[in-house]
């Protein structure tokens, strides 16, 4: 097909792609990659249908290029990308902008590619201040999903371009005489229609955004392609007008051009602007959604001003247009044909123009049909297919009016989110009922009725110096009523069919957490108040973010793979893996609830099967009273959160919900360790033992080995994301997909009991060395009885014994196996302790401590069986 060099343009049927084709077609053969189906790239470009989300489709398209043009490609201009001003998270940012770029770059490695041009955005930069232009070394700080995806795509190009020279063009906003820049078009619309909000702005009106004319950008593309052999192999260039027009200057010039007035603009508080934007979004029908969204308000102060020295020096490029000089022509076209102008800029027509639009576009339709009949594009078939054929341009009307191609899948993921949301509305209705229950509950349960406080309540009030029971009941009443009203409000917002307010689900979860805490903060005198808030609070959290789809998660993560982390042979996040943690959490919660009832004065005594008054002495000690709330109740809240978190998410949560896995790990491991430590030192600092406290501590210890493997998988996932240049903070909060790994084919609850148990304990083993170490720890805790030790020696044995038990059980997790070496330190201490501490009553105690220490060291040296693989973590499992 001729000897001219080949240039590939992705996203070639859009306004910018069309202009680029016209500019380059005289010098190069153009292959236009675009979504299958109309609109097609204009002639003389050859149309090659390519779905940029599909590796296979990209490879097929490039094979068509090879078959018809050969293996050498002069340049590929990668314009295809997804963006949306809705502010809603979309998997398209990952699948199109990031993964699509990666697939394209990988597929190009089989060709002789002289240049790869990537269309990025100046929005990747940290905003600047007036008269401080941004150069290519300026710090990056993308603030919303579109520029964040461009940063990730840039990182992929840097890390995977291999020998393909690349030019990363960071582009300012693009306009032409018909405008076609959404933010400018919206600004023009507000002034043209004399809307009240056209006189207010939530940001600094001396700041502005950088733009450039479409023809100047196309010329920059042409220069980059033309000088491809002279440019550095790795290059980033800013492209845009160096003179940024402030928002105020734009307002005044547009007011003068449109209405002959000096348009005054006043700055308003961001909170007020967000409220107004939110009310507009709620009140207006779906087909008239406002352009300005609440999330945009935070960006109103951002100022972008470019240093284009590198473009001048390396390309000889200088913009020939200025936005401020183009505004008169832009406004002239608006006034000449406002309906067409609105249509070209995809603006909602005001009622005054609606009737005119029906007449204008009704007449134009027949004319456009005539044009489309004679308009063709040349479409290349797949490799090995028929010769190139000419297709009728059914979309001639769109081409004639300069409409940008719609992303054919842009609506799909939004619809998927909405469909999923609509299928799980019932939990929000249940929460609404819980809210009404809370509002009416205090009056139905007699919070404000005259009560004679129980002796236990009077005891607690005297010990703690609390307000009267009547005052605390009043506080609980107000707490329940206000919490109930908030839950009703947030539930109604969560029910929104368009899922406009995903934050409302988290707001309800926060109210649920407060309900768990409120009886402890106010020292609820009534058992009904404590139990009511505890149960309702837990259920509100569950029905806010556990049962329905959790807001804020990355669609790329939810729809992507894998189940099993790369280099692992089992999934650490299955339901069965979490079941032991949930079971231990239930035991711990029930014990804590019982102890809390005594601390709040709801029961007269706390039962202890072995140590008499030990439980009551421990939970009313000075150590316990040092807490401003019932410490047993705080433990109960922690156990309840552990139960809820154990039930949260699916088997992929190690990569779809990293923040939650870390929070879960913090509750189980560090906070669990602190709880265990306080329980351990109680007999030392106070004297008696507490059976229920020991059982709760054991439940907490058993949780830890079952939580460690998921923490390791999550850490490896985040490390992989960081190495690939992904924005770590975003991945941490929203999750993501990951390359490698495999699908989990375990039967879970569909298997027999033996299979279920085997899957449940996957990742933990019980080496005899660790079991014996655990027994030695228990033996040390009993030396007061067996060897009549006392004072410091007895306390040392008790403390060391408890810690040996704790770390030995932790080391039963295969990923935690190195923890066993801590026992070496305890062993060395035991060997020397009899010679350093008082309280050794007999030689037997000396020999017991020394022999136990030596045996403990010996038991810590063998690693024990490791049945599973843990990728890079295997290196530390010695």
pLDDT at 4: 87
Q: What is the pLDDT of residues 15-25, one digit of tens each?
A: 899 999 999 99
Ranking 51-65, 72-86, 277-291, 764-778 by mean pLDDT, the lowest is 277-291
Q: Which two tokens stand for residue 613?
A: 């008054």
Gap between the Cα atoms of 166 and 75, Å rounded? 9
Gap between the Cα atoms of 237 and 215, Å rounded? 17
Residue 772 lies in a domain: yes
pLDDT > 70? residue 402: no
Gap between the Cα atoms of 496 and 282, Å rounded? 10
Tell whether omega for the bond before 44 is within 30 degrees of 0, i.e. cis. yes
pLDDT at 375: 44
Helix axes 527-541, 426-444, angle to 10 degrees: 170
Q: Any idea how long the chain is? A: 878
Residue 79 lies in a domain: yes
For residues 753-766, b (16+ Cβ closer than 10 Å) or e, as one string?
A: eeebeebbbbbbbe
Q: What is the pLDDT of residues 263-288, one digit of tens each?
A: 999 998 988 888 887 777 665 555 56
Residue 313 lies in a domain: yes
Share of the chain above pLDDT 90, in %: 53
**Measured on CA atoms in the order 458, 463, 468, 474, is the torsion positive or negative?**
negative
pLDDT > 90? residue 837: no
Task: State the CATH number of the domain containing residue 335.
Answer: 3.40.50.720
Q: Which two tokens stand for residue 877?
A: 């499992």
Domain boundary among 384, 408, 432: 408
Gap between the Cα atoms of 767 and 773, Å rounded? 10
pTM value? 0.60
Q: Which domain holds residue 15?
A: 6-175+211-242+304-408
Domain boundary among 408, 438, 467: 408
pLDDT at 785: 79
Gap between the Cα atoms of 572 and 759, Å rounded? 10
Concatenated DSSP letters of 793-835: HHHHHHHHHHHHHHHHHHTTBGGGGGGGGHHHHHHHHHHHHHH
Residue 797 in contact with residue 684, Cβ under 8 Å?
no
Helix axes 791-810, 768-781, angle to 10 degrees: 160
371 CA to centre of own chain:
48
Residue 465 lies in a domain: no
Residue 707 lies in a domain: no
Compute how many other C-beta atoms are within 10 angstroms of the C-beta atom of residue 549: 16
**Domain count for the chain:** 2
Q: What is the pLDDT of residues 185-208, one digit of tens each?
A: 999 999 998 888 889 999 999 999
Residue 812 lies in a domain: yes
Q: What is the pLDDT of residues 590-634, one digit of tens each?
A: 999 999 999 999 998 888 888 888 888 888 888 888 889 998 999
What is the C-alpha end-to-end distance of the chain, expressed in Å? 63
pLDDT at 369: 39
Domain boundary among 408, 441, 471: 408
Residue 730 lies in a domain: no
Higher local confidence (pLDDT), 424 or 468:
468
Gap between the Cα atoms of 517 and 610, Å rounded? 31
Residue 85 lies in a domain: yes
The mean pLDDT of 743-770, rounded to a whole number, is: 88
Residue 665 in contact with residue 711, Cβ under 8 Å?
yes
The mean pLDDT of 781-791, rounded to a whole number, is: 82
């Amino acid at each position: 097909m001729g000897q001219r060099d080949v240039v590939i343009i992705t996203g070639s049927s859009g306004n910018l792609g069309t202009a680029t084709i016209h500019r380059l077609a005289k010098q190069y053969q153009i292959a236009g990659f675009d979504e299958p189906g109309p609109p097609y790239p204009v002639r003389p470009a050859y149309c090659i249908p390519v779905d940029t989300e599909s590796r296979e489709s990209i490879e097929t398209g490039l094979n068509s290029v090879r078959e018809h043009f050969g293996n050498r490609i002069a340049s590929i201009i990668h314009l295809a990308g997804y963006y949306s001003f809705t502010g809603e998270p979309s998997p398209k940012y990952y699948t199109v902008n990031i993964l699509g770029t990666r697939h394209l770059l990988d597929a190009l490695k089989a060709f002789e590619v002289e240049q790869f041009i990537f269309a990025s955005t100046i929005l990747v930069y940290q905003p600047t201040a007036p008269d401080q232009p941004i150069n290519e070394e300026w710090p990056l700080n993308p603030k919303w999903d579109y520029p964040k995806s461009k940063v990730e795509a840039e990182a992929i190009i840097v890390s995977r371009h291999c020998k393909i020279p690349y030019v990363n063009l960071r582009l300012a906003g693009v306009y032409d005489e018909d405008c076609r820049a959404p933010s400018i078009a919206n600004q023009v619309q507000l002034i043209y229609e004399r809307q009240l909000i056209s006189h207010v702005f939530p940001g600094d009106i001396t700041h502005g955004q950088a733009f450039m004319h479409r023809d100047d950008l196309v010329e920059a593309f042409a220069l980059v392609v033309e000088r491809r052999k002279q440019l550095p192999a790795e290059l980033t260039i800013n492209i845009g007008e160096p003179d940024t027009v402030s928002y105020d200057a734009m307002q005044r010039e547009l007011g003068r051009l449109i209405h002959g007035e000096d348009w005054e603009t006043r700055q308003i508080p961001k909170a007020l602007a967000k409220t107004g934007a939110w009310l507009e979004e709620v009140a207006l029908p779906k087909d008239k959604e406002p352009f300005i969204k609440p999330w945009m308000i935070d960006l109103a102060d951002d100022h972008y001003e470019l240093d284009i020295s590198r473009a001048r020096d390396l390309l000889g490029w200088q913009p020939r247009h200025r936005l401020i000089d183009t505004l008169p022509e832009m406004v002239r076209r608006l006034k000449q044909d406002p309906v067409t102008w609105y249509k070209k800029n995809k603006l909602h027509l005001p009622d005054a123009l609606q009737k005119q639009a029906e007449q204008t576009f009704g007449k134009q339709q027949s004319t456009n049909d005539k044009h489309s009949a004679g308009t063709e594009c040349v479409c290349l078939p797949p490799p090995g297919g028929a010769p190139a054929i000419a297709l009728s341009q059914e979309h001639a009307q769109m081409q004639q009016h300069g409409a940008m191609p719609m992303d054919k899948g842009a609506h799909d993921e939004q619809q998927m989110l909405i469909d999923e949301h609509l299928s799980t509305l019932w939990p929000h209705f249940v929460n609404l009922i819980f809210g009404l229950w809370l509002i009416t509950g205090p009056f139905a349960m007699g919070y404000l009725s005259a009560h004679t406080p129980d002796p236990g309540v009077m005891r607690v009030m005297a010990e703690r110096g609390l307000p009267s029971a009547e005052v605390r009941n009043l506080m609980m009443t107000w707490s329940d009523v206000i919490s109930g009203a908030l839950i009703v409000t947030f539930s109604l917002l969560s029910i929104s069919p368009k899922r406009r307010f995903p934050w409302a689900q988290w707001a309800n979860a926060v109210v649920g957490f407060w309900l768990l805490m409120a009886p402890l903060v106010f020292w609820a005198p009534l058992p009904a108040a404590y139990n009511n808030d505890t149960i309702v609070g837990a259920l509100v959290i569950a029905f806010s973010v556990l049962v329905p789809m959790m807001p804020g998660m990355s669609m790329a993560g939810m729809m992507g793979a894998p189940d099993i982390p790369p280099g692992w042979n089992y999934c650490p996040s299955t339901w069965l893996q979490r079941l032991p943690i949930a079971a231990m959490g239930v035991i711990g919660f029930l014990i804590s609830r019982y102890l809390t009832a005594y601390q709040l004065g709801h029961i007269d005594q706390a039962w202890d099967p072995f140590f008499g008054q030990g439980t009551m002495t421990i939970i009313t000690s000075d150590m316990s009273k040092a807490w401003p709330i019932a410490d047993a109740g705080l433990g109960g809240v922690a156990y309840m959160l552990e139960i809820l978190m154990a039930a949260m998410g699916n088997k992929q949560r190690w990569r779809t919900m990293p923040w939650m896995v870390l929070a879960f790990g913090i509750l189980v491991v560090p906070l669990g360790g602190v709880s265990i430590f306080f329980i351990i030192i109680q007999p030392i600092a106070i004297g008696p033992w507490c059976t229920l406290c020991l059982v709760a501590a054991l439940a907490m210890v058993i949780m830890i080995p079952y939580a460690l493997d998921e923490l390791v998988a999550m850490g490896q996932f985040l490390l992989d994301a960081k190495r690939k240049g992904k924005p770590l903070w975003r991945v941490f909060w929203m999750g993501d997909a990951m390359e490698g790994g495999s699908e989990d084919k375990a039967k879970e609850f569909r298997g027999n009991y033996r299979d279920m148990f085997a899957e449940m304990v996957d990742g933990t083993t019980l080496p005899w060395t660790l079991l014996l170490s655990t027994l030695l720890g228990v033996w040390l805790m009993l030396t007061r009885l067996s060897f009549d030790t006392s004072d410091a020696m007895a306390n040392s044995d008790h403390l060391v014994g408890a810690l040996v038990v704790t770390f030995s059980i932790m080391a039963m997790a295969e990923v935690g196996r190195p923890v066993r070496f801590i026992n070496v330190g305890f062993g060395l201490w035991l060997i020397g302790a009899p010679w350093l501490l008082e309280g050794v009553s007999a030689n037997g105690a000396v020999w017991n401590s020394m022999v136990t220490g030596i045996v403990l060291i010996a038991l810590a040296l063998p690693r024990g069986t490791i049945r599973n693989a843990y990728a890079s973590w295997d290196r530390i499992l010695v």
